[in-house]
Structure 1
């Protein structure tokens, strides 16, 4: 059967005339959101930003306590998440032992340990002299302490670990206390978020590894790798210089 030439002609003409209308229509359709990208490090030091909204240090502490004392979260941390997190932390610490950044003889501190899964993981991999600090104690694994002013003498620990750098309102004090309480030659390992944003309780946002390196005045970077650490994606290790 042959196609009627006039009909084909009119069809093609109407299709051609409708193209501008279709283009106009689709140009106003909502665009799909694109993944959040991390801006490159800035020369102005804007790659570490403190979140606004804290009227006083007490208000900051209260906001952190709102998470730490949340009954639902504490129940999850001590039941459903207990063994799972210990297993993940144990693998992290075993890897650090293989890299000789941690040993069974390391006197160790976990900063912002909440209910102490990190401390328990250290003990299970053989690092028995370990303790945690948090705003709320959880005996016997965690004692009360503010990471902006650690309750320990100078040069107490061989190893310090934390995955709560993003909760520091004063990052310089956070790092300064680590370097104060760390022995010369000691190692600090931090898990941080570089490629994703942290939770609503975070007090700062870190946009480059260089911003963290700048805070460590008395230490040098010895190890960096990507990790999957409960919302944190980068592991950075620093060794305190022997002055």
Structure 2
């Protein structure tokens, strides 16, 4: 992976990824239109965060509940090479096995964490506590959530507003809460972990 530099195009990125794996299942998935659509949408969101100074190419990034890893692919596409995802069902090399209620990483291991699966957390307080534990002081957490409506069939909790979610982040301050159009999720919550 080229350190610190974004790929010129999605096609360059895809060729790079396809050259790295011999796994036929991943080669098929990575070449689908749905994969590209999701990677492109995540890349737009991450570029906006880069423009705001909330994400840099030097960031060590974690995608929490990353499924097949489109978020990780998007981070790498925009020039954040030190990015990985965790999920109970891993999809190496982008996504490692990991429970977001008990992340397999040291305290303060990441500069940036992203998740769009907060509604899947059986224990929302543990989900948030693990993000704050593994995020370094000054690090940024970004969550995409659905507010005021039911999540998908895997949702374990639903949000009527963001106040309950924000209250769980005891060691972080709110940077902003804004609208987003992200695969059925409508709100982006950006937090920064306090230094002390």
When normalised by structure 2's length, the TM-score is 0.84
1:100 aligns with one of 53, 65, 78: 53
Q: Distance in 1 between matches of 2:116 and 2:170?
A: 20
1:240 aligns with 2:174: no
| 5+ long unaligned stretches in structure 2 | 1-27
CA shift in 2, pair 1:222/1:161, >3 Å:
same
1:223 aligns with 2:143: no
Q: Distance in 2 between matches of 1:180 and 1:118?
A: 21
Structure 1 equivalent of residue 157 of structure 2: 204
Structure 2 equivalent of residue 137 of structure 1: 90
Could you list the runs of 4 or more consecutive aligned residues of structure 1 that deviate by over 6 angstroms after TM superposition? Answer: 75-78
Q: Distance in 2 between matches of 1:225 and 1:144?
A: 31
Structure 2 equivalent of residue 186 of structure 1: 139
Structure 2 equivalent of residue 31 of structure 1: none
Q: How many residues of Structure 1 are paired with residues of Structure 2 in the alignment?
A: 169
By how many angstroms is 1:81 displaced? 1.2
| Contact kept? 2:30, 2:36, Cα under 8 Å | no
By how many angstroms is 1:213 displaced? 0.8
Between Structure 1 and Structure 2, whose CA radius of gyration is higher?
1
By how many angstroms is 1:230 displaced? 0.4
Structure 2 equivalent of residue 163 of structure 1: 116
| Contact kept? 1:219, 1:239, Cα under 8 Å | yes
Deviations 1:158-189 (A, max 9, x none): 00000000000100000000000000000000
Aligned-residue Cα RMSD (Å) equals: 1.3
When normalised by structure 1's length, the TM-score is 0.68
By how many angstroms is 1:236 displaced? 0.4
By how many angstroms is 1:78 displaced? 6.8
By how many angstroms is 1:204 displaced? 0.4
By how many angstroms is 1:218 displaced? 0.2
| Contact kept? 2:149, 2:160, Cα under 8 Å | no
